[in-house]
Amino acid sequence: MSRPNPVKALNGVRSGHICDRCNKEVQTGDMVRAYAAHYDRDGWMLRRLWCEECGDSAIGEGTDGTDEAIIEAVL
Ligand SMILES: [Zn+2]
């Protein structure tokens, strides 16, 4: 089954977002990594967001048993 692109979960994220690990402010134009999970009712939801230095490339924490993805994007 095809899903919408998880990068859409980043819609609405603006500069001023804070890295979940080091609390650095993420600026527009910065590379970010984010963890998103897909819910049948809500679609892709952004769960965590990190700056370029902190970003995980693997899903390390417990999840909700749904589809999930690590996103890399430039804000
Ligand atoms: Zn960080």
Q: Are 20 and 49 in contact (CB under 8 A)?
A: yes
pTM over 0.85: no
Q: Which domain holds residue 70?
A: 6-74
70: number of CA atoms within 13 Å, CB side? 13
Q: Are 26 and 19 in contact (CB under 8 A)?
A: yes
- Number of structural domains found in the chain: 1
Rounded distance from Cα 74 to ligand 1 centre (Å): 14
Confidence of residue 8 (pLDDT cuts 50, 70, 90): confident
Averaged confidence pLDDT in the chain: 82
Nearest to 14 by CA among 31, 26, 32: 26
63 within domain boundaries = yes
1 within domain boundaries = no
15 within domain boundaries = yes
Ranking 3-7, 20-24, 55-59 by mean pLDDT, the lowest is 55-59
Nearest to 11 by CA among 60, 23, 36: 36
pLDDT tens digits for 11-30? 767 667 899 999 999 888 89
Rounded distance from Cα 55 to ligand 1 centre (Å): 7
Rounded distance from Cα 41 to ligand 1 centre (Å): 30
Rounded distance from Cα 2 to ligand 1 centre (Å): 31
Rounded distance from Cα 5 to ligand 1 centre (Å): 24
